[in-house]
Amino acid sequence: MAKLEGQQNSALPEGSHRIIGRDAQRTNIAIGYAVASIVRTTLGPKGMDKMLVSDLGDIVITNDGATILEEMNVEHPVAKIMVEIAKTQDKEVGDGTTSAVIFMGDLCKEASKLLDQNLHASTIVKGYMQAASMCEKYLNEVSTDVSIKDTATLEKIAQISMGSKSVGSGDAKNALATLVVKAVSQVAEKKGNKYSVDNDLIKIEKKAGGEISDTRLIQGVLVDKEMVHSGMPKEIENAKIALVDSALEIEKTEVDAKIEISSPEQMSSFLAQEEKMLKDMVEKVAKSGANVLFCQKGIDDMAQHFLAKKKISAVRRVKKSDMEKLARATGARMVSALDDLSAEDLGLAGIVEERSIAGEKMVFVENCQDAKSVTIFVRASTEHVVAEGERAIVDAIGAVSSAIEDGKYVAGGGSIEMELSTRLRKYATEVGGREQLAISAFADALEVIPRTLSESAGMDAIDSLVELRAKHQKNGLAFGVDVYNGKISDMSAIGVFEPAKVKRQAIQSASEAARMILRIDDMISSRAKSPPPGGPGGMGMGGDY
């Protein structure tokens, strides 16, 4: 047998590494739990921040789970799976990344205990699968309906999702929550009985300087460009906006062309013809009735001069994504050829104005009627605070969108996890067989959320869990950890709400990843070890000089 194993290993390339059986499971579980432990202290409003410094010395200060894992630049395959969970959670629902990762870490830890009791990995996987499917059923039973018109509840959901981010005082968070709910409600589209929200239609622009309370919602689009000519009007009321995809300049021929000019008259005639072509382009814009032009490509200097004379304000090299947002906000139609530009293609805005913000000029397109694309302009004292403010708003947009699309929310503060845990324990006794051990382990892992919340608030974790279990066994459905007052409270009474979709996605992602890791019993790494790096300037390379 030893000889056969040696032959198997000799089939692998030199320098490759192999871990078999229980050792592979132990290693993977240990890595999963270690990564979860890194982000665990960031959970909740009392969570701590992490400072991440890149190879180039760039600093990121955050407690956003997805950002931390992405910036960490992990090497181990299991750690990369954890990063994927956070990314999926972020893309799918925009919030709950930290919860998903620490829940998966605890699922791995509980599975390790069962493996030590000689329970087979397949049995644990089956039990985890049953538990995850029951959690989904219980979530639907205990969740409450919410509609797009229920702004008070949606604002509370936004506040809770921003709770862990350090973005100013409670008043600032309340103001941001109101902005987010307004923005999401405005871009939401009704399809049948359901709403769908395209978060890309909410543009987020950030600029350091000012305070977080200066953050505001713009009913339209903020374009981070300046007007091309100093002679153009800088403030246009009742703007008629043209969106052009073609360049206002003389196109150079693609093939090699040779123009021979043998006299000054020919030269002046050639330049006059160029000027006439540019003038004709500007005339076409003016004829449509437009007084503001956004161009995706370039605008020639001469064309800029003619536009300024016609009192048409223009912005060039606007990003495609911004052009699409402008079309949704103003009702304009994008035109690829100037010949096709007509009054019907123009969009409307109450005001278009160029303003100087923190030393940079920007064009504000505001007061659009029924704008289906809006901008949140984030302000804060420093770059790091602005970046964290942006992350808080992105999380809040994700949470509010999820609540509107799914139409359901649950009580937060670890109350839903404790309720699911309580119900799973009852279910485990009904199942019988070895799977009940795995279902009970799943229930234990769910308790990591209320336990972590109580630890980060400086409460006694064991006392908190004991009290919570007692409350939930007596049908205290909404009881969770009140981190601000350091006690166990009714979360629905103090308005701590979270979207059911966020919880569902976190449980699904974490349980699927844990099951995948438990199924691995053999790890083969074919990468040969890299040679030791040489000294600076070619030193230590050996050889004669």
Catalytic residues: 64, 97-98, 395
> Following DSSP, what letter does each residue of 351-368 receive, concatenated?
EEEEEEETTEEEEEEE--
The residue type found at 438 is: A
The H or E element containing residue 323 is helix 320-330
The residue type found at 24 is: A
Of 502, 513, 542, the C-alpha closest to 111 is: 513
Q: Is 8 left (phi over 0), alpha (psi -120 to 50) or beta?
A: alpha
Q: How many residues can be counted in the chain? A: 545
What φ, ψ does residue 80 adopt, rounded to 5°?
A: -65, -35
Q: How far apart are CA 202 and CA 190, in angstroms?
A: 17
Q: How far apart are CA 502 and CA 42, in angstroms?
A: 18
Is 101 in contact with 19 (CB distance < 8 Å)? no
Rg of the chain taking only CA atoms, in angstroms: 30
Is 376 in contact with 169 (CB distance < 8 Å)? no
Is 110 in contact with 32 (CB distance < 8 Å)? no
Is 32 in contact with 517 (CB distance < 8 Å)? yes
Residues 6+ apart with CB under 8 A from 293: 241, 242, 244, 285, 307, 312, 313, 314, 315
Residue with the two structure tokens 């509609």: 147
Q: Retrieve residue 386's tokens.
A: 């602005």
> Following DSSP, what letter does each residue of 179-220 receive, concatenated?
HHHHHHHHH-EEETTEEE--GGGEEEEEEEBS-GGG-EEESS
Q: How far apart are CA 508 and CA 85, in angstroms?
A: 10
Q: How far apart are CA 115 and CA 255, in angstroms?
A: 71
Q: How far apart are CA 195 and CA 390, in angstroms?
A: 25
Q: How far apart are CA 267 and CA 99, in angstroms?
A: 71
- Tell me which long-range contacts 6-14 makes (C-beta under 8 A, separation of at least 24): 12/524, 12/526, 13/526, 13/528, 14/528
Of 234, 127, 176, 79, the C-alpha closest to 399 is: 176
Q: Retrieve residue 418's tokens.
A: 């404790």
**Cα 409 to the chain's mean position, in Å?**
20
Q: How far apart are CA 335 and CA 106, in angstroms?
A: 55
The residue type found at 508 is: Q
Is 43 in contact with 453 (CB distance < 8 Å)? yes
